[in-house]
Amino acid sequence: MGNSAKGVRRVFNDGREETRQFSVKDEGTAARIILTSVYRALQEKGYNPINQLVGYLLSGDPAYITNHQNARNLIRNLERDEILEELVRAYLEED
C-alpha cells in the first residue's frame, strides 16, 4: 500500500486504482454501550432516536442529541467514524 494522504486515491499510469485499507480499532463494545444509552435517552424524551442520530452523524452538531441522562456528553466521547463503524458492524454481523 502506498503512502498517499488519507482520502486520496493513487491512480497508476495504466488507469488502475490502488485499494486503500482502513484500519479500525476494536472499541466496538464502548461504542455500542454509548449508542444504546444515547438511543434510550432520546426515546425517553420523546424523540425519534434514529432521526436524531442520523442528524448528528451527518452534521456533527451535538444539538441533535439530548442532554437527558448525559447523552450529549456521552456521544462526544466517540468520533463519528467510530459510531459509523459500530453501526456497520452491527448491521452486517447480525444473524
What does the domain layout of the chain look like in residue ranges?
28-92
Output the pTM of the full model. Answer: 0.69
Q: What is the DSSP code string of the chain?
A: ---PPTT---B-TTS-BPPPP----S-HHHHHHHHHHHHHHHHHTT--HHHHHHHHHHH--GGGS--GGGHHHHHTTS-HHHHHHHHHHHHHS--
Q: What's the average model confidence in pLDDT over 79-84?
A: 93
Instruction: Indicate the pLDDT class of residue 2, thresholds 50, 70 and 90.
Output: very low
Asked if the model's pLDDT at residue 71 lies above 90, the reply is: yes
Cβ atoms of 78 and 34 within 8 Å: the answer is yes
The mean per-residue pLDDT over the stretch 25-52 comes to: 90
Whether pLDDT at 63 is above 70: yes
pLDDT value for 23: 58
Q: If you count them, how many residues does the chain have?
A: 95
Q: Report the pLDDT value the prediction gives residue 36, as an integer from 0 to 100.
A: 96
Residue 12 confidence (pLDDT) above 70: no
